[in-house]
Structure formats: C-alpha cells, structure tokens
Structure 1
Amino acid sequence: MSWTNFLLALFGGLICWVAWIALAGGTQHQTVVISTGSEQGIYFQVGKEIGDSYATRHPAVRCEVVSSEGSHENVTRLQNGTADVAILQNDAVADERVRSLAMLYTEVLHLVCRKDAGIQCLNDLAGHPTNLGSQSGGTHSLVEALLRFSRVQIPTSQQLNLGFSDSAEALRSGDVDAAFFLVGLGSEIIQDLIANPEFELVPIQIRAVDSEGTFVSERAFIDGFRTHYPHAEFAEIPLMSYEGSPTSPTPSVGIGAVLACRASWEEELASDLVQTLFAHRAVLGRKISLLSGLDEQSSQTQLQFPLHRGAEAYFRRNEPGYLAENAESIGVLITVALLLASGLHGLKKWIDQKRKNRVDVYYGRVQQILDSLGSQGFSNFGDALRDLEAIESTTCQELIEERLDADHSFVILQNMIHRCRAEIERAAATAGRT
C-alpha cells in the first residue's frame, strides 16, 4: 500500500470515528416517570412491569418507577407535571390535565375482619374500630361513599385512616376489628392476612330492614350505589381466590384501575406506551395475572378521563379513512352530480338550439327583403327599410333580454342587416335616377 492510500484510509477512518462519537453523544435517553403505589402493592408491580416492557421495546426511553401513597397522590403528580404516567382509580378526582391511556383491570374492595368480631355485613361495623384506608389513597373515598349510602355510621373515634401495610399490622395487633382494602384480586397483602385463621373476608352487603338474618340482594345493593357513585361496578371475589378462601363467591364492589398520563405528554410517547402494553400483554399476563384480561376494546370503555391523543391514535389505527368510510355516500353524490351536470348540459343545448331557431327566423325575414328588392318593378323602398329597422330593433331587444346570444350567429345576422340596408339604399338611388 502506498503512503497516499494509507493516509487516505487513515483520514477516512478518523472521520468515521468522529461521526460515531458525535452520533453516540447525540443520543439522549428520555426519562418517563411512572407514579404507582406502595412498593408492596399491585400498583407498583404493574407499573414496574409496564415500565420494563416499555424500556425494552424503546431503548432510548428510561422508565423511572416511583412509589406513592395511592391514586390521589398520583393525580397530584400528573397535574403538577412531576409524573408523566400513573395508575389511577377510575373514580379519582382530577381536572383536564389528566388523560386516560387504557383500562388495565378491575380493583375489588376487600373487607377483612377478625373472626371473633362477628361482623357479617356493613351494618355490623358501627360498633367496631375500622380502618377506612389512607386519605391519600383511593380506598378511603370509595368506602366513605359506600358507608354514607348504606346509612352506616361509625363513630369518628373508631375510624382509622391507615395505609395498607399499617392497616394489616393493626388487624394483627387487634387495634382494629375490620379494614378495607381496594386492591386487585390476588393481592399479596390480602393473601398474607387470609392465610391467618383469625381473619376472614366479609361480603360487601347490608342487612334487610327489620331482619336480622336476611340481607339485601348484593347486586341490587351495588346497582343502587352506582346511582350515586357511577364509576363503581358489581364485582365478586371468586371462590378460593386466596388458597382455599373464600369458600364461596364473595360479593363486593369494583373500581377500574386506569393507566393515565398528563394531558401535555408527547403524543408519540403515549402511542408507543399503549402499543407496548398490548404487544407485551401475553408476557405481562404471565407475570401479573390481573393483566391477562387486557383487551383493546374493553380498555377504551367506561373511562372517566378522555383518551390521550396518542392512545386514541393507536386504538383507531385500523379504522378506515374518511374517504373509505364514506365511499358509498361519496359515490352517490358523484352520480347525482354527473346526472345533474348532464341534465344542465342538455338544457343548455336545448336553449341554444331554441335561440338558433329564432335567429334563423330573422335570417329568413332579412332574406325575404333582399329577394323583394330583386323583383321587377319593386318601389316600396321605404317599407322595406322600415321592416329592416324593425328586425334590427327586435333582435337587439331580444339580445338584451337574453333570448338571443351575442355569438357568431348574431354577428352574421347583423352583417345581413347592414348588407340589406345598403342594397335598399342602392336600389332606391337607382330608381330615383330613372
């Protein structure tokens, strides 16, 4: 290899190296903050798995999964911009700065009670210390509304507002006889409690009026509650959901868990996240059984917060465009337009022909005057000139009234009138000399 070729190769390699460094340095990882729940709760697990799948599918994105006190705190983070994505209850109170991405699963209200407390329904809670859930989480607002609807009054002195972990400890220590947990089915904290024979799951139901042993239909009760709390739904804790418990399906109330984001979040990132969610749903379902029921159709329905533009673009990706969707209507309109244009064209031809026929009549009248000038002994030059002027006046008037067109035919008629006038004047002058 010559020195020239060697230097050229070295120079080319140096340029490629500099370009690679520049491109590598220019690749910036974008951080997406996902606000979840307590690190022992299902929100945190779901958020972490979704974040991992998102980062795996999009290497330029780094997901930061942060814990929180629950749904209310997550709403606050979305509204003040400290989080991009969060998991919320569908009944959370938020403003226009929050948008939905997809419905994930249904959370079910679990009422865990000490067996020795003898609690069978919501009415029995009135005489027992009860944890209603942390005020920064979503359990508290649902339970408060449910008790108010049920006309169950627990003295303030017996109401506690503890988070999930502290609530479980209070049950174990005997500080409370009952505690509410709004969690996904299969929750680890419920599993640990129910494994202890001291605790049991109590149905979300109320006792019939003036009856100790009869309860109001659970579904009818929840349907009535929905008139005041529209985002709630009837739910059941299935048979043996927690390693042998409950021994029969336990009626309860459910609230949807929604993957949400701030309204100002980038449309492309939102669309990519929803796409990742459904592309990895088999993997996510194996890791977290609650996500095995993910479905694109149901994930768009009954959402309190409007869909983010990016999520909407993903869900509607297979919908036909405007032209395809309205092809039949557009075809009918085009057909009608063509028929109308054809009809108008035919009408114009008819009108033009009618005007042409009128011009032909005047051609004949002028020609008659010219023919009469050639007759032997013709002397009515004044009458002929008056007839010609009458024709000229009439045709001008019809032109103004648009009964004749100012076209080539009309020009020919005017030329005939001028020629006829000249012939009349010439014939009259000849007759005067004789």
Structure 2
Amino acid sequence: MRNIIFATLLLFLAACQSELETVKIIYSVDEPKGEIASVLKQIIEEHTRYKVELVIGDGSLAAYDSLATGAAHLTIVENNTPLSGGVFAIAPIFPEILHILYKSDTAIHSFEDLFYGKTAYIGQEGSGSYEFMVTLFQFFEIDRSKVKLTDDIFSSDVFCGFTDLLKEEELIGLEGFKLYSFDDQSQMGLGSVTEGICMKHPQMKTFTIPRYTYGKMTPTPVFTLAVDAVLVASGFLPDDVVYDITKAVFENHQDLNKISPLIYSRMSEDFNSDDLNFPLHAASRVYLERDEPSFYERYAESIALAFTLLVATYSGLRSFAKWNSQRKKDRVDVFYRYTLDIKNKVPSLKTTEECILSLSEVRKHLNQAFQLLIDEKLLANESFRIYMELSRDTQSELKTRLRYLRELGKAPPKVI
C-alpha cells in the first residue's frame, strides 16, 4: 500500500511540475557554509532542471526571514534558530562546534573570568553565534556592563563562534590562544555544565573535541557544545522542487562529504526528524520514506495467520470496506468542493493579496489531502486524481490572475 501511495505522489508531483526555473540560495560567507552553498549549486544544476543563484546573506536570522517571506528559497541555519513559520527542514548537514578561544596568558577559572574586563568578539549581531552567546550570558548571569563587545575579532581578548573543525592554516593564526572547556571529564554524565545548558536548550548537544585534535592547543579533551546546521527551504518553494532537491542532495552527498569530516559523519537519511527545530518538509519526508518496508512486509507471518481468521468474516469485512471506501470518498469531496469554490471565484479577485491568500489556501488543503493519503485515510482512486487535477488547474488560474494584476501595477513582484 505504501508503494502505491508513493507512486501516486510521484505521478502527481510530475503532473504538477512548477514553473520555477531558478532556485535562490542565501548563504553565509563563513566556512564551511560558503563552500556548502557552492557545492549545492553544483549538485542542483547537474542533477535537476533548475538553475541556482547564490546570494550572500547578513546572518542566520536575516537569511531565515528571507525564506519566510519568499525572497529566497534555501539557506543553512542553526537548529536553535527561533521558529516563526513558513520555513521547513530538508536535512541536517553538519554539527557546528562552539569554539571559545582566549589568550593563553590569562588565568581563567570560570565562565565569568572569560569576559569580565575583557574585549570579546561573539560574532556579528544577528548571527547564530551572537544570539547563542547572548543566551549563555543569561544562563551564567553575566553582567553585560562588565563586558566590552567588539566587531573586530583581531583586537579581542576572547572570541567565540560556531564553526567547523578548525583547519591547519587557521590554527597558525591562533598561537597564543587556548580553547575554553566548560567541564572536565570527571563531571560528564554527573550533571555537568554542558548537560545543564542542553537541558534548557534541547536543540544543543554536548560535544567533545578529543585531545590533540588541534595539536598542542588541545593536550586534553575540550568539553563544549554543538548545534546542527540545517538545510531549510521556504514554504513558497513548490513541493516538486523540494523533492527534486532532496533527492539530488542525498544521492550526491559524497560531494558534500569532501568538505568536512563533520559532514561525513552527520549527513545521512537516517536522521531523527524529531530533533529538528523546524517541521520536516512534506516532500522531503516522501523521499526519505520511499524505501521503508510496508506493513505487509514487516508482518508477513502474522498476516498469513490472520488471513485464515479473516476468511470466516469475509462478508462482514466486505460490507465494512464498502462503507469505509464511501467515507474516504466523502473526505475527498470536501476538498473538491472547497477548491472548486475558490476556482469559481478567481475571475472576481481584485487584488494580489486575495490571489496569494487563495493560492495559499489551495496549497494548504492539498497538503492536508496528501497527509490523509499517507495516513491511509483517503483512497488513491479516480476521485482523488480528479481532485489533484482540479487543484493543479486552480493554482494555475490563480497564478495567471496574479500575474495579470501585477502587470496592472497593483503590487511589486514577489516570489511565490
């Protein structure tokens, strides 16, 4: 049954192929995000029909807002970015490690010692690093008046940020600095500081930088924090585009693995979507669940035994099946009537806002119908196919109406 549903969804995605030609990726110049964006561009352009435009963003929060408004389509943000709607996860890419470095000639015995009376760089305002360091200041009850923040990393006594593993060329410029460790090994698993932070901020994870990872800078393990960097998509990006991108990324993830060992260890289809701070995109879920064994494959022996019992009650179950089939058809009719009402109103829409709202409603109900189909509360029959065609035609008419109204100069262009 699952295979039938999956095939139906694929056929529908192909039938409703969007008119989008260029996918806009907004990204941070901080590595490895810049390199990841370049590789994503290469993967998408080589393995899908879309072109990619790369746009340099102004921090994670600004990039997130660009997706929420439809000004961009894809970006990579930290998993602890505040959720405000309109953005959906495709997959976690790699864990970003919190590095806190301070001058080695400074005696540091506590988190407060790192910052009081010091000049500190905690990232550009609006970046994920900056926002989380402000959160840590609150956790440790740091008096901000005793901390001097700077935008110049080279003039700072201490600097912090979520990054990939530091490369050898980066370590050359860090002579004279030490890495701050929140805990020592004896406290791990016994209510350590990092465990306390993760309890209050569950998107974070404890992370250990093993000894000698950075040569003489790490003669002992460093206990710190990490957060997943997640590839996310705008809710304005059509489902078929998201499906194509998800498929291309996972089938060619070895190109991303070359960028960092952390990507190699994290990039997998087996991630737990419950750990994400963003809802998993429905099209990504369809791709990721394509090979899961069906109910019948998992319970073949039990079904064989149950079949002998089902034969005795065949006539009763047949009546129930007819009733259940009619009930599922009635559910499709609800979506059909709602979409037909909107379709009939298209010629009377006067503003682009009405068009966008109607388009959003049609897509919302289409997604609800898909979810019911996946949950086997709808039948993938002729009625459902007619509804899908009606939804596709209605969206096409709404887009045509929207373009017509925009040509009249009633609103500036906007990505849909």
CA distance in 1, matches of 2:85, 2:197: 26
The answer for the alignment partner of 1:56 in structure 2 is 46
Question: Per the alignment, do residues 267 and 51 of structure 1 end up closer, same or farther by CA in structure 2, a change over 3 Å counting?
Answer: same
1:184 aligns with 2:164: yes
C-alpha deviation, 1:145, in angstroms:
1.9
The answer for the alignment partner of 1:201 in structure 2 is 179
CA distance in 1, matches of 2:109, 2:32: 27
CA distance in 2, matches of 1:328, 1:265: 43
Among 280, 288, 294, the residue aligned to 1:315: 288
- Partner secondary structure for residue 117 of structure 1: coil
The answer for the alignment partner of 1:134 in structure 2 is 124
Among 302, 307, 313, the residue aligned to 2:275: 302
Asked which structure has the greater CA Rg, the reply is 1
Fraction of identical pairs, as percent: 22
Whether the 8 Å contact between 1:108 and 1:236 is mirrored in structure 2 is no
Q: CA-to-partner distance for each residue in 1:373-418, whole Å, 9 max, x for gaps?
A: xxxxxxxxxxxxxxxxxxxxxxxxxxxxxxxxxxxxxxxxxxxxxx
Whether the 8 Å contact between 1:131 and 1:178 is mirrored in structure 2 is yes
C-alpha deviation, 1:244, in angstroms:
4.4
CA distance in 1, matches of 2:299, 2:150: 56
Whether the 8 Å contact between 2:39 and 2:255 is mirrored in structure 1 is no
Question: Per the alignment, do residues 289 and 143 of structure 1 end up closer, same or farther by CA in structure 2, a change over 3 Å counting?
Answer: same
Q: CA-to-partner distance for each residue in 1:259-292, whole Å, 9 max, x for gaps?
A: 1111232222212222222222223212333321
Alignment of 1:276-295 (within 5 A): 276-293=248-265, 294-295=267-268
The answer for the alignment partner of 1:389 in structure 2 is none
CA distance in 2, matches of 1:215, 1:103: 28
- Partner secondary structure for residue 224 of structure 2: strand
The answer for the alignment partner of 2:82 in structure 1 is 93
The answer for the alignment partner of 1:10 in structure 2 is none
- Partner secondary structure for residue 88 of structure 1: strand
The answer for the alignment partner of 1:34 in structure 2 is 25
Consecutive unaligned residues in structure 2, runs of 5 or more: 1-18, 317-416
CA distance in 2, matches of 1:95, 1:161: 29
Q: CA-to-partner distance for each residue in 1:16-36, whole Å, 9 max, x for gaps?
A: xxxxxxxxxxxx881111122
TM-score in terms of structure 1 length: 0.61
CA distance in 2, matches of 1:42, 1:342: 63
- Partner secondary structure for residue 272 of structure 1: helix
CA distance in 2, matches of 1:247, 1:184: 20
The answer for the alignment partner of 1:104 in structure 2 is 93
The answer for the alignment partner of 2:103 in structure 1 is 114
Question: Per the alignment, do residues 299 and 289 of structure 1 end up closer, same or farther by CA in structure 2, a change over 3 Å counting?
Answer: farther
More contact order relative to length (CA 8 Å, sep ≥ 6): 2
Bigger drift between 317-326 and 125-134 goes to 317-326
The answer for the alignment partner of 1:68 in structure 2 is 57
C-alpha deviation, 1:243, in angstroms:
5.1
The answer for the alignment partner of 2:338 in structure 1 is none
Whether the 8 Å contact between 1:194 and 1:245 is mirrored in structure 2 is no
The answer for the alignment partner of 1:425 in structure 2 is none
2:45 counterpart letter in structure 1: A
Q: CA-to-partner distance for each residue in 1:97-128, whole Å, 9 max, x for gaps?
A: 01100011111110111222323441212232
The answer for the alignment partner of 1:226 in structure 2 is 198
CA distance in 2, matches of 1:186, 1:132: 17
Consecutive unaligned residues in structure 1, runs of 5 or more: 1-27, 171-175, 206-213, 344-434
User: How many residues get paired?
Assistant: 295
The answer for the alignment partner of 1:261 in structure 2 is 233
